Structure 1
Amino acid sequence: MESTDLSTRPPADGAPAHATPPRVRPSRSGKPQGQWKVDGTEPLNPNEEFKAADNGLNVRARIEETYAREGFDAIPGDDLHGRFRWWGLYTQRKPGIDGGRTAQLEPHELEDRYFMLRVRTDGAALSPAALRVLGSISTDFARGATDLTDRQNVQYHWIEIEDVPEIWRRLDTVGLETTTACGDTPRGFLGSPVAGIAADEIIDPTPVIAEIKRRYIGDPELANLPRKFKTAITGHPSLDVAHEINDISLVGVVHPELGPGYDLWVGGALSTAPRLGERLGVFVTEEQAPDVWHGVVRIFRDYGFRRLRNKARLKFLLADWGTERFREVLESEYLGYALPDGPAPAPATGPGDHVGVHLQKDGRSYIGAAPTVGRIRGDLLTRLADLVEEVGAESVRLTAFQKLVVLGVPADRVQEAVEGLEALGLRTRPSALRRSTMACTGLEFCKLAIVDTKDTATAAVDELERRLADVEPRLGQPISLHLNGCPNSCARIQTADIGLKGQIITTEDGEQVPGFQVHLGGSLSAPGLEGPQLGRTLRQHKVAATELPDYVERVVRRFADGRTDGETFAAWAHRAEEEELR
């Protein structure tokens, strides 16, 4: 692959990088913010410097031709800690380093010689052949350690650099990739898991996702963004892609005159400065959708703030501009035409995880199943492929909730499929807590983590199922419990009924132990809610990891006893007195 430095070129639309359009005002601080169309493309920090020095996409050739042959020690720092991310690779945490030392050690002291490797599925249907390839990679190269993420990715651990070319070769045989799965790039897309099959679907997003990927994923002109850029596209009325917390979302709606299409949302993201996305109020046709996506990502590239990385997400540009200005720039500078006003999505019609048995529009069924907190081993993926074939089903899609959906199950094989999934530990009728518990990678593998999440969440769910068996019939709904190992909210803690942010806490006896700060009452679009909202933070209330089941049991029982008829946990948590929530 020829090395080409495209990251310092002027924007592709022809405007000089130093030009300042009349509508752009200087930053309030008076300092350059690294906006390419305002301040020029001179790098303002080390991160921008290594991106300007060589396009991140170019590192694949070095991995295949040099590093995989010469080994880990041949990898220079800018590639290892920077450009490798453009191909889905991060070094994983060295075993045995407790969470209290995460902030005390340098990155090289925390990292192991093994990698996490992220495979993007972009809402694609995974055939039995694809499942077997994913399973074989896990078994052959990742010690079986595999997770399904809340962004429909498959995430491996214990990967050695020598094996990466062979992994890429296997993925390519089934149309899967790791291209820009990480890094300051357009990352993996969230797509409706029931696209093209659901009886109540508004519009099938599959063609739009495929066209955007065909045109733009791997495009060097989009490989140097200020930060990551996340996409969600759905046409299902359950609003099943967490559209409120993505940089760009296209949500299926029906225009009264133009028919089915998409409502455009921009600027959503969580992490340490959470912000829900906002509607631009425009209607986007299926034909326009790829161009609109391209326009929004180029606005981010050209106008996004690059000086400070903690202010570099699209949400900060939207906060500065507002939706009216953002729409005007999109239409006038990047599309060249005005978009019509359009309707907002209707409230969600059902849970977006699709757990359980549901009828397809062709008379067959799809079945959603829950692996506990997304943990799924390679041999299980292989056995799942066997089950799909045995029951005459078609494929599997992943969800935005660490779940999976088996598609195209014949009507007379549904019970057999349900029994087969249950035998694999994939619950089709999980308890309210098991269904809605998510956890990030946590201390086991992540260099940013402070506490363990996967094992802590699994043990808590097992215990809480036993303790809350008498209460569950009175809940009337799943209770979402999200555990995050650090403040960055990969597990979406601010939008969970019970969100737990990992930190080291001090007990009454003065002992420092792993624990969590509590967020209560967050929600995304769901039945019974007027709209999304961020959780209520109990700033002075911390829960030790060992006391997690006690705390969750206490709060859930208080909700069950104190809720009004039909009231959701989120609504109750926002009106309850703080003492009830402790």
Structure 2
Amino acid sequence: MYRYDEFDHQFVRERTNQFRNQTERRLSGALTEDEFRPLRLMNGLYLQLHAYMLRVAIPYGTLSGRQMRQLALIAEKWDKGYGHFTTRQNIQYNWIKLEDAPDILDALAEVEMHAIQTSGNCIRNVTTDHWAGAAADEIADPRPVGELLRQWSSLHPEFSFLPRKFKIAVTGAPHDRAAVKVHDIGLRLHRNDAGEIGWEVIVGGGLGRTPMVGVTVRDFLPQHELVGYLEAIMRVYNLYGRRDNKYKARIKILVHEIGAEKFKSEVEAEYARRPHPTTEVEERELARIAAYFAPPAFEKLPRWSASFEEAKLANPDFARWAKNNLGPHRVDGYAIVNISLKPEGGIPGDATADQMRVMADLAERFGNDELRVSHAQNIVLPHVKKDDLFTVWQALVKADLAAANYGLAGDIIACPGLDYCALATARSIPVAQSISRKFADSRKQDEIGKLKINISGCINACGHHHVGHIGILGLDKKGEEFYQITLGGSSAENASIGTILGPGFAGHEVADAIETILDTYLKHREPGEEFLATYRRLGAKPFKEALYATA
């Protein structure tokens, strides 16, 4: 894992001290809320419906056990005993007192964490594949590039006040688990015929009120050219991006309005304009960073583990969890453990302080001291020996962290919605809970198979409903909450934006509507066919007919 250097430590401490002074001035009345607002947002502090919310950056989703323990301490000492893990691989605390915020930032700095670039019109926290460095299908670990981009973008003088917020995602695998096609910039690693690695550069993706899938502006960019090329993209955006209308200020709108080819030509011209470009500094820095991401000293183990197989035979619950929640590791004898934060009827993404400590302990004892936050609001132990899996599962069971629903109907993504968020127009959490209870039967979930249900409480789409196989959007209609359903979305390499089925539903009707949709899928699917493939083969017609037959 990356360790802060002297500059990082000084940078974060200075920012924390600045914010302490700014907070004291706000509390004394020397700063008005309007004056204080941009200052707190630069430090990840939002004013929500009931309290302040602090959004903490977890760059490329990677945590150590020590860092997770500190997040638990913050939840216990300054919040209500829990934290909320987000689709952006961050953690949010929803009940912060303003006077405590500087102390929390100090506590984060003690473990090399901060809340910088989690808000504002800047390059936000860089995200990546939550299986990075472990996945069997990975070409190379993308996290060193994620860290390089974090350092490059932190307080970059040209990119601190962009037309709008800006999000970058990176993946090093052919199967996209980082949703790169629906980010402002998505980077996807490839290997050419000569065996060299380079990046496909995708620009102009995004969700919100105008969802779009990004376009490829370079099929293969040599790795040593990456920073210079991204600077060219950012300069074009800074120059032409709209600042008169925040709803049309994202780079996706610019790409759409001037056209992909014109945008590409502008970027290439800007890149060619660099005087005698040299990549020596970037290459040296990337090599330095990569050393911190050297793989653990894996033991030489057989692919087959007798104790693991025997435990599955003796315990059906463990066998089901192993089938659903384990991912293939690139090293024989190891597995990727996906810890679901979605118990039946629970709040997606929430973890108590005690649960965070359990996960930290498991990472330190069995997982080479690494944890990851996933885009699906779950936690990952990326490197666990198969021989240890039954012991890990037993600890998860005791902590109510052993829901065997990873990637199934119970693994619902949901934003905090109107229960917390000042921007929301409807609640997300109760809808997620009702769907979770509707599909609590493990046999039903297994019958349905792989499925992504995503819920957002407003058009800003923090729950990524546009790219859910089933997406649910909560809206306000004449003072009442109703929910629009979309089908056919995907954030993977075959990315697509879901299509609205028809009129919305009241909150208490949504779970039954989802059941009708899934019963229709089970009726029409071909052997082995997953939900998204069935929808793409048949289109919306049979689902609409089933859903609105009695309307």
TM-score range, shorter chain: 0.7 to 0.9
1:67 aligns with 2:67: no
CA contact (8 A) 2:201 2:218 kept: yes
Counterparts of 1:464-483 in structure 2, within 5 Å, are 464-466=439-441, 469=442, 471-475=444-448, 477-483=449-455
CA contact (8 A) 1:234 1:241 kept: yes
CA contact (8 A) 1:291 1:335 kept: no
Render the CA deviation track for 1:505-524: whole Å, top value 9, x for unaligned. 57xxxxx6432111122122
Superposed displacement of residue 231, structure 1: 0.4
2:484 to 510, 517, 521: 517
CA contact (8 A) 1:135 1:377 kept: yes
Render the CA deviation track for 1:485-505: whole Å, top value 9, x for unaligned. 112111111111221111235
Aligned to 1:430: 405
Superposed displacement of residue 61, structure 1: 5.7
Superposed displacement of residue 62, structure 1: 5.2
Counterparts of 1:214-363 in structure 2, within 5 Å, are 214-257=151-194, 259-334=196-271, 336=273, 355-361=325-331, 363=333
Aligned to 2:541: 576
Give the alignment's Cα RMSD to 1 decimal.
Answer: 2.6
Q: Which amino acid aligns with 1:121?
A: I
Distance 1:518 1:441, change over 3 A: same
SS of 2:423's partner is coil
1:85 aligns with 2:52: no
Superposed displacement of residue 460, structure 1: 2.3
CA contact (8 A) 2:23 2:102 kept: no
Distance in 1, matches of 2:70 and 2:76, equals 10
Aligned to 1:366: 336
Superposed displacement of residue 60, structure 1: 6.2
Q: Which amino acid aligns with 2:219?
A: V
Aligned to 1:441: 416
CA contact (8 A) 1:356 1:429 kept: no
Distance in 2, matches of 1:183 and 1:378, equals 28
CA contact (8 A) 1:499 1:518 kept: yes
Aligned to 2:457: 485
CA contact (8 A) 2:339 2:401 kept: yes
1:533 aligns with 2:496: yes
1:554 to 484, 504, 516: 516
Which of 191-200 and 164-173 deviates more? Answer: 191-200
Counterparts of 1:456-471 in structure 2, within 5 Å, are 456-466=431-441, 469=442, 471=444
Distance in 1, matches of 2:333 and 2:222, equals 29
Distance 1:207 1:168, change over 3 A: same
CA contact (8 A) 1:451 1:486 kept: yes
CA contact (8 A) 1:436 1:480 kept: yes
Distance in 1, matches of 2:397 and 2:175, equals 25
Distance in 2, matches of 1:444 and 1:86, equals 24
CA contact (8 A) 1:248 1:296 kept: no
Distance 1:186 1:413, change over 3 A: same
Tell me, which stretches of 5 or more residues in structure 1 are unaligned? 1-57, 95-113, 340-353, 507-511
Q: Which amino acid aligns with 1:369?
A: I
1:152 to 89, 100, 105: 89
Q: Which amino acid aligns with 2:546?
A: E
CA contact (8 A) 2:121 2:163 kept: yes
Superposed displacement of residue 187, structure 1: 0.7
CA contact (8 A) 1:252 1:263 kept: yes
Render the CA deviation track for 1:126-149: whole Å, top value 9, x for unaligned. 111000111111111111241110
Distance 1:563 1:397, change over 3 A: same
Which of 559-568 and 118-127 deviates more? Answer: 559-568
SS of 1:200's partner is coil
2:355 to 373, 380, 399: 380
CA contact (8 A) 2:458 2:474 kept: yes
CA contact (8 A) 2:124 2:165 kept: yes
Distance 1:451 1:575, change over 3 A: closer
Tell me, which stretches of 5 or more residues in structure 2 are unaligned? 1-13, 278-323, 343-347
1:452 to 427, 431, 442: 427
Superposed displacement of residue 83, structure 1: 3.6
1:199 aligns with 2:120: no
1:185 aligns with 2:122: yes
Aligned to 1:417: 392
Superposed displacement of residue 90, structure 1: 0.8
Aligned to 2:79: 142
Render the CA deviation track for 1:434-475: whole Å, top value 9, x for unaligned. 554110111111001122212331232023223xx5544443
Distance in 1, matches of 2:467 and 2:333, equals 35
Superposed displacement of residue 399, structure 1: 1.2
SS of 1:169's partner is helix
Is the helix fraction higher in 1 or 2? 2
SS of 1:406's partner is strand
- The alignment of Structure 1 onto Structure 2 pairs a total of residues equal to 480
SS of 1:284's partner is strand
Q: Which amino acid aligns with 1:410?
A: K
Distance in 1, matches of 2:328 and 2:460, equals 34
Aligned to 1:38: none
Aligned to 1:542: 504
Distance in 2, matches of 1:446 and 1:581, equals 30
Distance 1:336 1:414, change over 3 A: farther
Distance in 1, matches of 2:37 and 2:472, equals 28
Percent identical: 28
Q: Which amino acid aligns with 1:493?
A: H
Render the CA deviation track for 1:356-397: whole Å, top value 9, x for unaligned. 243243743321121021111223212221222233542101
Counterparts of 1:122-141 in structure 2, within 5 Å, are 122-141=59-78
Distance in 2, matches of 1:551 and 1:201, equals 38
Distance in 1, matches of 2:137 and 2:403, equals 21
CA contact (8 A) 2:164 2:250 kept: yes
Distance in 2, matches of 1:431 and 1:379, equals 21
CA contact (8 A) 2:414 2:456 kept: yes
CA contact (8 A) 2:325 2:337 kept: yes
Distance in 2, matches of 1:392 and 1:520, equals 37
Distance 1:538 1:575, change over 3 A: closer
Distance in 1, matches of 2:368 and 2:430, equals 32
Distance 1:287 1:432, change over 3 A: closer
Distance 1:302 1:502, change over 3 A: same
Q: Which amino acid aligns with 1:91?
A: L
Render the CA deviation track for 1:266-303: whole Å, top value 9, x for unaligned. 00011111111111133122222222223222322222
Superposed displacement of residue 575, structure 1: 4.2
CA contact (8 A) 2:139 2:190 kept: yes
